[in-house]
Structure 1
């Protein structure tokens, strides 16, 4: 069964089983479609993001529908074509959407420390002899999607900043998801891999070790089309900004949300992501796909 058919079947199964069967959707509310890049497989995506849609539907005059894309470029196309009005993109995919379609960042999630940043991690098996990122010369490495910030762009920058170019590696591959990278390293298929911090921490107890951390990266933005109605933006930002990670009632609301979204949000502006734009220009060959130049 090819990947396209598998994705469609998984997504159909996910959407056929509501997380909250007792909660009827408010049919008379205007629909707002909320896009998300494919950080995990469709079933996991639905489990982690549908509760956010339910919350927004309950707290705003709109009915929010989750729109999961099959890959990163499709998430950008959905926003550009108006299939979605709001989207959770990575920093790199946001850069592409901003440069090509003038997408605007409005919110960024907070981490468990209450700051709007995350990090990229270079991971190895716990029993690996590698102890320094510069020892990756001559080794094999797994990155995430070419459009990913934390599992492709930032790790490339981290390697480059430590004197290790892609040509210095024995070989490298790009896998579809962060989880796929972590599992490939655990299986010993590659010497090292690159994932976002929450995935690295998740798999530490399964036998992974963090070889190197990146500097803090601005949190992945929630972005809108430039013609998204102001009322939609105001309703969304109001509903999410009022959540306080220190409030027990709000903690209960967010506990089933994705790990990147369960600590609240802060306002976002384009200047927050200038550093990402600079990295894309500075690293040889940018993110490796040439779509941001």
Structure 2
């Protein structure tokens, strides 16, 4: 993968993937406002799948688990402008306002299509990526402008941006059954369930009678097997969508559990039915 990034500040970057494919499982520490210049992205969450393409603008709320799959398109790289809306900056912004919030426990990705105000704000950043010694004040003003535009076009956005709560202790079984497809460090799973790593491992073993890694592998393989029998998706697509990092590891683990590789699943089903 050839990845290139240009920064105005640590919170504003021009991101470009030149290769044919890139996949990552991510938990975002900050809200991310993204404008697509070229390419396509599929974002898979536990309860929804999103597709974004050239011209789309969307906001990914912080502390959300997601599988990001990037594709170049029409011989152009996957290129985006990414703006981080950090908690510190948002606290400062909202400290001057009096807002009534209706907090959502799990806000979804918010799509703004190619809204002209947001597009104008984000596209105006392009010339700055070719410059050096950009005044910090300019970048700060651009982020404030983006927040103000979001508030003007989305009357519910305060419920997302002004929510500064950290994850509290949640039901471990329910959370893991919903989010096992995301290949993240155990520390991240612990944080999102309101636990230290030590407490997470202890509670996990008590709840599932398995280590986290063995349980995660088993659940991902079972889901992969089910999806391969229910639709026409290719093993390589299923592999990434259920939490494996590469096809070779997936194929090895699949054959070890079921006795045949994923590419022979249909043949195996036919033999059983006969």
Give the TM-score taking structure 2 as reference length: 0.24
Give the TM-score taking structure 1 as reference length: 0.23
Larger Rg: 2
Higher relative contact order (CA 8 A, sep 6+): 1
